[in-house]
Amino acid sequence: MSPPDTVRLGGGEVRGLRLDGHLSFRGIPYAAPPVGERRWRAPAPVAPWSGVRDATTPGPDAPQPTRSFAHVTSTDEDCLTLDVTVPDTPTTGRPVLVWLHGGGGTNGTATRDAGRLATTGDVVVVTPRFRLGVLACFGHPGLADGGTFGLQDQQAALRWVRREIARFGGDPANVTLAGESHGALVVAAHLVAPASAGLFHRAILQSAFAVLAPTPAHTLIPGVPALPPMWTPADELDRLGATTAAEHGWTAPGDDPHAALARLRRLPVADLLQASDAFIRPAFGGHVLPESPATALPAGRFHRVPVLLGATCDEARFFVAVFADLVGNPVTARDYPRLLAEAFGDAADEVAARYPLTRFATAGLAWARVCTDRAWAWPTWQLGRVLAAHTDTWCYEFADPDAPPPVPLPGLPPGAQHAAELAYQFDLPGGPPLSAAQRGFAERVNRYWTAFAAHGDPAHPDLPDWPGLRTGHVQSLAPDRIGGADYAADHRLDFWARLP
């Protein structure tokens, strides 16, 4: 007997789609549309509907600009919906995995097929859409909760899970909050946010960046100056929002804050998206996120849930390829000393001695290795050790050297670049195909992830042991080998620990 493809929720009935081995319910509203006067306000309850709501097609993606790395364009603010994927076998009490997509804070989509992940580990997968960029992290004088609207959307989705997921066979007392890239960054915020307490019971952070410390110039994206941790004080954000609005001519000289906000709420969303890149850092200092995670996490002031975190082996190849090679400005041997000097100042010669061009096929690969080690591996290790000091923590490195790239890349061999693991977890629309060996490897990775979601520990009887990070262990995940990696030596962590 199969579970029903029609489910009665608090707001009304929804009808999903029965697929190969699983059921898919898409575009379910978890909060009222944040449009008009509801722009830049906390998410409001859903209005009930009559009849059976069709849940066979995805809801609109959050408004976002077009990017070379993201083939999604949207200006529809009615985006607070989620998708639920359920194995096609009747049972109750399944673990629940809530997935927060990446995309740099300005882009991304929850529209992906989670069937393999759900059926491999017998879990319910929930993928919410939430506000991004200028609609998520904007601040302005007189605007309550500025910089936290995306976080509040995610909390609303988690509260929806607590209320409704049992109707899909999920266990609301066993929820894992997972995210990749910017999605992992905001998982770190939820570890600290007071209102997120009790809404999830485990956390997975894949390729989180700049959670605890600054990132040197160019090492996240070529051409981008040094970045502070990805959190901004609320008062600083208010000043940035007011300045941005005035520079774009969106507000008039002499407007009081309430008049200015009224004008801003009437602007076409396409106009606002021009400024999205400036508003990707959640704000702290208010009731949603009182304290910066960069301060709270090392102090142990966070929700004590088991954590699984890690990164890919060649993270920065994606960024060097997309933001240097793809735009016709590849890193050259002449550029290399300048980039090192601008990133590391007086320590540039020491970095060059550790990463000499003679050891790499191209200058782009040399720079990508420097950036991977400094901007990704070292911060991942730092964050893991901070968390492991207070809670059970496991660390991994995704290391398939032949992983298909998320987008076609010129210039560099893709390796295990940023976001490469997503094709092993989800069937992505138009995504790269996996070989038979890679699909088998994907199943093993997904069993680790879903074992963690079920029990708070990735241990699985059919897979190699995975000791916790307190032992210093980092699990290398590759098709031909799963086991311990010499992460510190491979990424020269002792060297980076000595630099400011």
Residue 418 annotated in active site: yes
Q: Where are the alpha helices (H) located in 253-330, listed in sequence order?
A: 257-266, 269-272, 293-296, 317-320
3-state SS assignment for residue 396: strand
| Contact assessment for residue 187 and residue 179, using Cβ atoms and an 8 Å cutoff | yes
Query: Which of 101, 105, 104, 132 has its CA nearest to residue 34?
Result: 132
Provide the pLDDT for residue 69: 66
CA distances from residue 52 to 15, 47, 129, 170 in whole angstroms, order as listed: 7, 14, 22, 21
Length of the chain in residues, anyone?
A: 500
What does the block give as tokens for 348?
């540039």
Residue 446 covered by a domain? yes
Domain range spanning residue 139?
6-315+377-498
Average pLDDT rounded to a whole number, residues 205-214: 96
CA distances in angstroms from 208 to 139, 180, 199, listed in the order given = 23, 7, 21
Residues 6+ apart with CB under 8 A from 298: 212, 386
The active-site residue, picked from 418, 421, 460, 491, is: 418
* Residue-level pLDDT at 3: 66
Can you tell me the distance from the alpha carbon of 467 to that of 307, in angstroms, rounded to the nearest whole number?
13
Q: What is the DSSP string of 342-367?
A: HHHGGGHHHHHHHS-GGGSSSHHHHH
Question: Residue 42 — pLDDT band, cuts 50, 70, 90?
Answer: very high
The catalytically annotated residue of 315, 397, 421, 476 is: 315
pLDDT at 2: 57
What's the mean pLDDT when you consider all of the chain? 95
From the candidates 24, 181, 207, 292, which is the catalytic residue?
181
Specify whether 13 is catalytic.
no
**pLDDT band per the 50, 70, 90 thresholds, residue 252:** confident
Burial class (CB in 10 A: 0-12, 13-18, 19+), 161: buried
Structure token digits, residue 13:
């009935």
> What is the tens place of the pLDDT at every residue in 349-361?
999 999 999 999 9
More confident residue, 231 or 20: 231
Contacts of 146 (CB under 8 A, 6+ apart): 40, 138, 139, 140, 234, 237, 238, 241, 283, 286
Asked, for residue 365, whether it belongs to a domain, the answer is no
Whether 68 is catalytic is no
> Is 306 within 8 Å of 210 (Cβ atoms)?
no
Does 324 map to a domain? no
Residue located via tokens 């209102």: 195
Averaged pLDDT, 86-99: 95
Of the CA atoms within 13 Å of residue 400, those in its CB half-sphere come to: 21
CB 89 within 8 A of CB 71: no
Percent of the chain at pLDDT above 90? 90
DSSP 321: I
CATH number of domain containing 267: 3.40.50.1820
Model confidence at 432, pLDDT cuts 50, 70, 90, reads confident
Q: Which of 306, 137, 150, 336 is nearest to 238 (CA)?
A: 137
Would you place residue 66 in the very low, low, confident or very high pLDDT band (cuts 50, 70, 90)? confident
- The token pair at 121 is 């580990």
pLDDT digits (tens, 9 = 90+) for 419-430: 999 999 998 877
Q: Report pLDDT for 406.
A: 78
Residue 1 lies in a domain: no
Average pLDDT over residues 165-187: 98
Q: Residue 457: inside a domain, yes or no?
A: yes
Cβ–Cβ under 8 Å, residues 97 and 450: yes
Furthest CA-CA distance within the chain: 69
Residue 386 is assigned to a structural domain of this protein: yes
Looking at residue 1, its pLDDT comes to 45
Confirm whether 412 is domain-assigned.
Answer: yes
Per-residue pLDDT at 303 exceeds 60: yes
Looking at residue 500, what is its pLDDT?
76
Residue 103 exposed, middle or buried by CB count within 10 Å (0-12, 13-18, 19+): buried
* pLDDT score for 68: 65
CA–CA separation, 35 vs 152, rounded Å? 15
Number of structural domains in the chain? 1
Structure tokens at 401: 């050297």
Within 356-492, residue ranges assigned H as helices are: 363-371, 378-388, 422-425, 436-455, 487-490
Residue 120: name the closest of 423, 450, 426 by CA.
450
Distance CA 312, CA 490 (A): 13
State the burial class of residue 15 (Cβ atoms within 10 Å of its Cβ: 0-12, 13-18, 19+): middle
Residue 169 placed within a domain: yes
